[in-house]
Structure 1
Amino acid sequence: MSGNLELLTTSPSQEQVANQLQELERPEGELHLRFYLASGQELAFSAMAIREVISAPPDRITPIPNTSPLLLGTLNLRGRVIWVADLGQFLGETSAVNTDRAEIPIIAVEDQETIIGLAVEQIVGMEWLDVEAIQQPKTTDNTTPYLRGEWLLSDRTHQCLRLLDQKAIIRSNRWAAV
């Protein structure tokens, strides 16, 4: 019984705490935001590409009639009106982001003075990833022109995390058709 009490009252040594703090202070790689599209595909943006991450109620997004189905509408972001697009549909996915919920996760990306909101299904969170481990995409699809590369997460399942290029998305000719 006393052995159990010792386990409950044992605290980490000062050395263990110092090692954990050093790991937090010296993360390896660069910070990235991981998220899911409606299809279940997981992607990432470099944190440097992101202006802001917003959870907006659908009624804050003003639909604009006679526009592309890629666009959900406009959103007032700190006094600036920005377009909000369904990132999955922009990338050629058939599944639309779920707008029938309390809040829609939106990633506001920026290039020079242009900001666009990209609606996604779910934000996973921030993670430090090794940029030196990025590989060129092994397959070509609708997403390829908007990729900076991908990380191989599992050799066994060939699961990849694809890194998007916000500049390629913002500067895309697909917006001209909108």
Structure 2
Amino acid sequence: MAMVQSGWMQQQSLPNLGSGERQQVQQGIPSAIAKLLNQGLQPMEMTVKCGRKDDRLGVVVEAVTVPDQSLLSTWMRQQFSQLHLEEICKVEVYGRQIGQTRPAWRETIDINQIRVLRFQLGSTVTALFHLECVREVLSISAKEILSIPQMPRCVLGVYYHRGRILWLVDLGLQLGITQSSVLDRSRAMGQSDVPSSPSPSLNVIVIEADQQTIGFVVSTVLDIESYSWQKFQAAATFLSSSIPLPFVQSYLQDSQIPLLSAIAIIHDRHLHLYQV
């Protein structure tokens, strides 16, 4: 059941709103928000009730079995980040089984905050990924990568992970930030007269977007950070030439650090050769 829910929630989004409905939702009217969420969750036979106190919105989600906390909370974060509620700062999500009075779990969502993973490409460029699309961060040996012939230079090969094949892409090379492959540089650094010398580790950010999963190799993974959405500006005004604009979702106004679009990067035409 969890696998079914996971696959559905990766592709399910809220229905389009008319201007009047959108205004009610953005004003934080509980009945309007509940109606919208019920339409989105109806295929999974979940029902939603909403209540509000000041700048907090309470959302109770019921189902025959207790809704999966991780999947539902992630889905709620994604949806509320797009609704732009004007007077709501926090959303309290409760999951419970139909017929029960006490919730089985509770999750607090700060909808004015975005959590990101900061990382480095090459020696000078810093960028961000929205944490919602980051599945995990790996450290792997270059020797564990199986190269595939006749692939673009940025495609390093495949890596066997958790019983599945994971394609690995050099993100710096894909975006034109670096001229040589992370894999080539790593192998050069790992050359040694000692036969047993370990292979240098590569930093891999596993990204999932639009039902596709790819491992992007970066120079350094730095930290998880939280920012207010107000700190970000639209990509159209991004002035730096370090990263091509089509791959930028938005950017931090103060530092010009870009928030990359996982969907745009995964759908880059240079990668279509191997997506399966």
Q: Same fold (TM over 0.5)?
A: yes
Give the stretch that moved more between structures: 42-51 or 130-139: 130-139
Equivalent in 111, 118, 121 of residue 219 of structure 2: 121
Out of 124, 134, 150, the residue aligned to residue 232 of structure 2 is 134
TM-score, normalised to structure 1's length? 0.75
The count of residues paired between Structure 1 and Structure 2 equals 149
Displacement after TM superposition at 1:65 (Å): 1.9
Residues 26-35 or 66-75, more deviating? 26-35
Residue 99 in structure 1 maps to residue 190 in structure 2:
no
Q: What letter matches 1:133 in structure 2?
A: K
Secondary structure at 1:69 match in 2: coil
Q: Structure 1 residues 167 and 26, CA, compared in 2 at 3 Å: closer, same or farther?
A: closer
Amino acid at match of 1:146: F
Instruction: Report the Cα distance in structure 2 between the residues aligned to 1:163 and 1:26, rounded to whole angstroms.
Output: 20
How far residue 176 of structure 1 moved from its aligned partner, in angstroms, is: 3.0
What do the CA deviations read for 1:81-131 (whole angstroms, capped 9, x no partner)?
A: 011011011111233324235210001111243111100000111011222
Runs of 4 or more above 4 Å deviation: 25-28
Contact 2:147 2:158 in 1 (8 A): yes
Preserved contact between residue 39 and residue 93 of structure 1 (Cα < 8 Å)? no
Distance 1:82 1:99, change over 3 A: same
Partner Cα distance (1:112, 1:93) in 2: 25
| Residue equivalent to 2:85 | none
- Per the TM alignment, residue 151 of structure 1 is displaced from its structure 2 partner at its CA by 0.3
TM-score by length of 2: 0.50
Tell me the equivalent position of 2:32.
none
More helix by share: 2
How far apart in 2 are the matches of 1:54 and 1:77? 10
SS, match of residue 99 in structure 1: helix
Partner of 2:268: 172
* Cα displacement (A) at 1:174: 2.1
Indicate if the aligned counterparts of 1:38 and 1:95 stay in contact, CA closer than 8 A: no
Inter-partner Cα distance in structure 2 for 1:46 and 1:120:
15
1:147 is aligned to 2:243: no
CA–CA distance in 1 between the matches of 2:267 and 2:149? 23
The equivalent residue for 1:75 is 159
Q: Equivalent residue for 1:161?
A: 257
User: What amino acid is the match of 1:120?
Assistant: V
For the 8 Å contact 1:39–1:95, the answer to whether it is kept is no
Instruction: Look up the SS of the partner of 2:146 in the other structure.
Output: coil
Provide Cα deviations, 1:144-171, integer angstroms capped at 9, x if missing partner: 1011110023xxxxx4211001011111
State how far apart, in whole Å, the 2-side matches of 1:103 and 1:152 are: 33
Identity fraction in percent:
26
2: distance between equivalents of 1:40 and 1:56?
23
Alpha-carbon separation, structure 1, partners of 2:229 and 2:137: 22
Deviation by residue 1:42-74 (Cα, 9 ceiling, x = unmatched): 000011011111111111111112211111110
Structure ranking higher on relative contact order (CA contacts 8 Å, 6+ apart): 1
Q: Distance in 2 between matches of 1:124 and 1:140?
A: 21
